[in-house]
Amino acid sequence: MGFLRRLVDKAKIKSPWVFHFNSGGCNGCDIEIIAALMPRLDLERFGVKLVGSPRHADIMLCTGPVTEQIKPRLQRIYEQMAEPKYVVAIGSCACSGGVFRGAYNVLGGVDQAIPVTAYVPGCPPKPSAIMHGAYQLLQVLAEIMGVSPKELAPEFEEPPAPTVDTTETGAEVAQT
Ligand code: SF4
């Protein structure tokens, strides 16, 4: 049983399946999540797989603020996920309500409705920030489960932090 438990834990770290839920944001964060999954940054190299049902997911990526209207729906979707389950709030809206904070009917961030494991702030956060958040979350999960991510995949290295380059026009360009 101990061996099987450890095998399942290793599998969860090596291939976390994620479900994406927008509770009412502007879609800016959603586009950045897609960019993180695309081949340039390739979040899938960590085994991350986007799935269409919360019943298949280990991690829920949440974007947007939580309103009175969406709260019970978000809670119902969270309840459909199997244990152990984790939630990542992506973007300022999901972290705290962001630009919608204080608006009528807005409760605040995702943690006003369900437990949140990790926060990735920004409006919207860069794909590299989402990568960094995912890496940090996997490290925490590995620590909880007593598994070393590097033991599982030697190429499992922390994504480089984005640098900023000032071009001749003075515009700032993120190098990811
Ligand atoms: S954090 Fe910014 S980009 Fe993301 S949903 Fe809110 S307003 Fe849109």
- Lining ligand 1 with CB less than 6 A are 25-26, 28-29, 63-64, 91-93, 98-99, 123-124
State residue 52's pLDDT score: 92
Q: What is the tens place of the pLDDT at every residue in 143-161?
A: 777 766 565 455 555 555 5
Peptide bond into 72 cis (omega under 30): no
Q: What is the tens place of the pLDDT at every residue in 18-65?
A: 999 999 889 999 999 999 988 888 888 878 889 999 999 989 999 999
Helix (H) and strand (E) counts in the chain: 6, 9
Which residue CA neighbors atom 5 of ligand 1 most closely?
25
Tell me how far the alpha carbon of residue 88 lies from the centroid of ligand 1, in angstroms: 15
To test the pocket of ligand 1, the residue of 67, 95, 99, 110 to mutate (highest count of ligand atoms within 8 Å of its CB) is: 99
> Is the entire prediction scored with pTM above 0.95?
no
Residue 156 to residue 127: CA distance in whole angstroms:
18
Residue 166 to residue 90: CA distance in whole angstroms:
27
To test the pocket of ligand 1, the residue of 26, 61, 70, 119 to mutate (highest count of ligand atoms within 8 Å of its CB) is: 26
State residue 170's pLDDT score: 38
Write down all domains in the chain, each with its CATH number in brackets: 2-175 (3.40.50.12280)
